[in-house]
Amino acid sequence: MLTLVTGCRGRVGAALTALLHQGGHPVRAASRNAAELSLPPGVPAVNCDLGDPSTFPAALEGVDSVFLYAEPAHIDAFVTAARTAGVRHVVLLSSSSVLVPDPAANPIAAAHHAVEQALLASPLTVTLLRPGAFATNAYGWSAAFRSGRPVDLPYPRSEGSPVHETDLAEAALAALADPALQGAAHHLTGPESLSAAEQVRVLADATGTPAAVNEVTPAAWKEAMASHMPAGVAEGLLGYWAATDGVPAEVTDGVQKLTGHPARTFATWAAEHAAAFRP
């Protein structure tokens, strides 16, 4: 049974494609520009732009299951094309932000919520992966590390339980391969709650690079992010960090339930990705 993996330029999609191929599962890798993908030998690539419904039919031809990123722009057209192609099962990389009281009004949760609702309203079997903070969010601090500057944090005591991208890929693999795990929602986190400042210290230890934290005002941080991030997203993040300032993050056993092993620690992630933070 053939699996289409969308978003293969992303770390989770790329890791999942490799895991499926290594396990002998037929897989087709999809991206907006498939020619730019670097794939294991023997893995076919196809253009699938979730913002362009004309790319859906060819990408979905012969596909039984899909690993999908949460892009709401044309989700109804995607569902229609998937049903026409005979797709049975969709694993959605959603977000734990949808668990807030009014996700449709939340700038971070809204897109994920819209895709979840469209899929759940369809006759497809839908498995929802709802990770919290990604460990890869720490890449946002890499420039400061490499240049020796302090890491600017508006809420250094805001806590999260960052999850490793390999754990997400392995969780998706399990959901695709095991019918007993399908059709449910899974909240996935790392194994511990860490403040943003603690994460910076873990990275400093892993890289051997001294790092200081510079507490900045929310307004200053938003202004610094203006060229990289939509204002609504920045405001949503600031609101989330304010609400979690000094509050331990939820830690779940979702990764272990799906993969059979404990979630990887942030220290493990930092050690594996240390080169990106060294001068």
The reported pLDDT for the residue numbered 131 is 98
Residue 9, pLDDT score = 93
Q: At residue 194, what is the residue type?
A: L
Alpha helices in 86-195, H assignment, sequence order: 110-120, 142-147, 165-177
Looking at residue 106, its pLDDT comes to 87
- pLDDT score recorded for residue 210: 87
pLDDT score of 108: 85
Kindly give the parts of the chain with pLDDT less than 70.
none
β-partners of residue 120 are none
Q: Are 135 and 268 in contact (CB under 8 A)?
A: no
User: Which pLDDT belongs to residue 107?
Assistant: 84
pLDDT digits (tens, 9 = 90+) for 34-45: 999 999 999 999
pLDDT of residue 228: 86
How much is the pLDDT for 233?
86
List the chain domain ranges. Answer: 3-131
pTM of the model: 0.94
Residue 125, strand partner residues: 89
Pick the CATH number of 3-131 from 3.40.50.1220, 3.30.465.10, 3.40.50.720, 3.20.20.140: 3.40.50.720
pLDDT at 158: 97
